[in-house]
A and B are shown apart, each in its own frame.
Chain A
Amino acid sequence: MLMVAVSMVVFSLVSLSPVDPVAANVGQAALSGMSDEKLATLQAYWGKDVPLVERYASWVSGLLRGDMGDSLRFNAPVAQVVAQRAANSLVLMGIAWLASGVLGLALGIAAGVRRGGAADRLVKASCFVLAASPTFWVALLMLIVFGVVLGWFPIGFSAPIGKAAADVTWLDAFHHLALPAITLSVVGVANVALHTREKTIDVMGSPYVRFARARGESTGSVVIHHGLRNLVLPALTIQCSQIAEIFGGSVLVEQVFSYPGLGQAAVSAGIGGDTALLAGIALVSAALVFGGNLVANILYGVVDPRMRKEYSRG
């Protein structure tokens, strides 16, 4: 139901655009030198005069058959472009999602266990700064420091330039993936870390922790045996609700690193007036967010036995 609405919103927004696909793709010089007949053929090819509702109907019926139309920019079916790009993007986002979650959890616990200590203040301050800094600027800094000055990582793309696709090794791919993934993870940490910190403070003040301490358990053991379960759940909730944010971040990061993922494709589609591709990517991203929420709901059951009971009771 919501997906249908999303598809309608996406399609009407995309169709509203005054960006003329002919003008955007042919180029100014070619456009002015083109004969009227040629122009009319091209406009007909890109379906300029078909009314909105009709176009939507044909687009949706295509969608249901798995046909998302053809990308003007890449001159290939949208589904193919999206699939190819999504593989790159999903690896990037998956790593960032996991890394920022784990790192955020660890930092949040470290900060919350000794509240007001040096680690706490450090984590809190850096999280505030991170939450305020624009993703693309962090990416730029990473690029300057590790790509240009230190030269540890390549400054763009997902494989070495001038190497045939078949020769690209896993190591190459990983080497190119590292910097964008690190950037995206670092940017995503702030939210989880701050929330986990709050929760950790709550947990550390709870009666069961006091009892565990009275039994002589060490701080580490208290955190592992009593804290972790209670802390993972809120962290998981936040991480799942952050999928949309991470997707947004990946758009920016991919743009900075010229990493050929979904986000970069969305940007070039938007600038080039490639409606079909833009609409396809928007739909996929929305599906990703819904999927994330679904996975979150399933994972709650795994982590939290109370929820399982509630479900089985109906």
Chain B
Amino acid sequence: MAELASGILHIPKARRLPSRRAALVLAVASVALLVGVVVAGRVLEPAAMATDFTQKNLPPSLAHPFGTDWMGRDMLARTLAGLSLSVLVGLGAAGASSLIALVLGSAAALGGRRADAAVSWLIDLMMGIPHIVLLILISFALGKGFWGVTVGVALTHWPSLTRVVRAEILQCRQSGFVAAARKLGATPVQVALRHMVPFVLPQFLVGLILMFPHAILHEAALTFLGFGLPPEQPAIGIILSESMTYLSAGLWWLAVFPGLALIAAVMLFDAVGSSVRRLVDPTSAQE
């Protein structure tokens, strides 16, 4: 996702100049839309479970924009409910993961050479096993289900953010203003609160937001494979894996619309992340 953000950051100057307000509007609008989806999904959850066998296997129409499935459930309601579930799980997992990243990143930067080596070795270890395989392993170890996915996603997404936090803290520690503060008699705690936190926090937040799309996609993938949320719940991964059974019967709308909705959610998170980055990044914030 960092590549995406850098892609956006490298669009021509002429178009970037008046973009500060645009970025703000984009971020706020995306957040509002996502909150709307989550709320709608929570509200519609009973509707997503309601079956109506007189209305089954209907292609998309005005009454059912996304069609209905083989049990007559409205796919729009199911998609929204699934999306809100996926977003919530993704948010929780990414939040936990970012905490790990914060702790390990600061430990690596401040804890001396040993801690640094240990953390970077851990990162190598995590990167050495393909993400999905590691997710399957962790989920398997925890007996699948809700905790399996959440903990799995939380335990696998911290390495890149840890690197960011470590690099930021190191850079901050060597900067002139921290040295000046030390000379002026500031205690380490004061330095940490006054200088380190404001310096590191923006990058950390951006990293956190850009972690959401990854977390959501991995949650969906894991659930799709059967290691994630239990099949009674209308999660996006479940919806898509159920739709596989009905593909050859030509029920294409079961797969297409939920997938599009998932992509939309992921891209919205991306938009929020890169807009916030543009707003807090010192090299572009003054434009």
Contacts and interface: CB of A to CB of B under 8 A. Distances in A.
A278 B140 CA distance: 10
Interface of B is mostly: helix
A198 B10 contact: yes
Residue from the set A9, A195, A290 with the largest chain B CB neighbour count within 10 Å: A9
B12 A116 contact: yes
Given A144-B255, A251-B132, A285-B130, A137 B137 contact: no
B4 A128 contact: yes
B80 interface: no
Contact of A135 (B10, B136, B221): B221
A272 to B, nearest CB: 10
Contacts of B248: 148, 155
A6 B125 CA distance: 7
Interface in A11-65: 12-19
A280 to B, nearest CB: 11
Interface string B216-243: 0100110011110000000000001001
Given A9-B125, A124-B7, A198-B6, A248 B131 contact: yes
Tier of interface size on chain A:
35 or more
Interface stretch (B65-73, B197-205, B262-270): B262-270
A155 B247 CA distance: 10
Interface string B171-203: 000000000000000000000000000000000
Contacts of A290: 128
A143 B267 contact: no
A198 B7 contact: yes
Nearest to B122: A5
B250 interface: yes
Contacts of B132: 247-249, 251-252, 263
Given A144-B255, A267-B136, A286 B129 contact: yes
Nearest to B255: A140
A266 interface: yes
B130 A270 contact: no
B141 A13 contact: yes
Contacts of A194: 3-4, 7
Interface string B254-282: 01100100110011001000000000000
B29 interface: no
A297 interface: no
Contacts of B140: 13-14, 17, 19, 270, 278
B137 A282 contact: yes
A133 interface: yes
For the complex of A and B, the 4 pairs showing the least CB-CB separation, nearest first, are A248-B132, A137-B259, A16-B141, A247-B130
